[in-house]
Amino acid sequence: MNFIKAIRRATALAIATASIAVQAAPARATPTYDEAWEDHIELARVIQDHGVMVHVNPPHCKEGDFMGFYSGQQRVIVICQENGQGDYAPYRWTGEDFDTLRHEAQHFVQDCMVGTRHDHQLSPVYQDPLKLGVRVLGTQRVQRILDVYRGKGASEEILILEVEAFAVAALIDTEEQANDIRTYCGLG
């Protein structure tokens, strides 16, 4: 069985069995804005220490329908703030902005899993990203993610990477993400 067929089968199986396997993510204390801000500033610092610049509200943000993106070959994460205008101006960060940084940080970690850093050859970090997605996000949200990205022409490989990035971002653990960057994206 080729890789694409195996991924499609795994995707269908994960979604089909989700109603049986779904467990709620552990409850976490909601950080204050200042705590969240400091945690995310530290995550951005670790990302930049490992060779990827973080740009907030560059002009690219006016051009597309996206909250952010990671480009390994350009060594950049772009965050388009919810209230931003694509003018590099600082705006008070929202929960969505923080979520976008965590999501794109996961794509950076995925880029460190195979090949060389910054080659934009991404691979999942988790053994079963779909199962993680269903556990953290729930079956319906995973299905919505798959539907939206399929509608944009994403491959099965990209679907899995996106589900994993959405799930990891939802876990809101910037310290663990920073440790993953240090572990998988070493400075060498």
Q: What is the pLDDT of residues 84-128, one digit of tens each?
A: 877 877 789 999 999 999 999 999 999 999 877 788 899 999 999
Q: Helix or strand or coil: residue 68?
A: strand
For residue 171, tell me if it sits in a domain. yes
**144-164 pLDDT per residue, tens:** 999 999 999 999 999 999 999
Exposed/middle/buried for residue 50 (C-beta within 10 Å: 0-12, 13-18, 19+) = buried
Task: Say yes or no to pLDDT of 72 above 50.
Answer: yes
How much is the pLDDT for 29? 58
Domain assignment present for 124: yes
Q: Cα–Cα distance between 5 and 116 in angstroms, integer?
A: 27
Question: Has residue 64 been placed in a domain?
Answer: yes
* Distance (Å, whole) CA 3 – CA 5: 6
26 lies in some domain: no
pLDDT at 96: 95
Residue 63 in domain: yes
Query: 23 in a domain, yes or no?
Result: no
User: What's the confidence (pLDDT) of residue 16?
Assistant: 34
Q: Does 74 fall in a domain?
A: yes
82 domain-assigned? yes
Task: Sort strands 53-56 and 76-79 into parallel, antiparallel or unpaired.
Answer: parallel
pLDDT band at 45 (very low <50, low <70, confident <90, very high): very high
* This prediction's pTM: 0.82
Q: Which residues sit opposite 70 in a β-bridge?
A: 77
DSSP state of 58: -
User: pLDDT at position 47, please?
Assistant: 97
Predicted local distance difference test score (pLDDT) of residue 167 = 98
Q: How many domains does the chain have?
A: 1
Least confident of 56-60, 77-81, 104-108, 156-160: 56-60
- Across 51-68, average pLDDT: 90
Out of 2-6, 103-107, 122-126, 184-188, least confident range: 2-6
Domain span including residue 77: 3-18+32-184
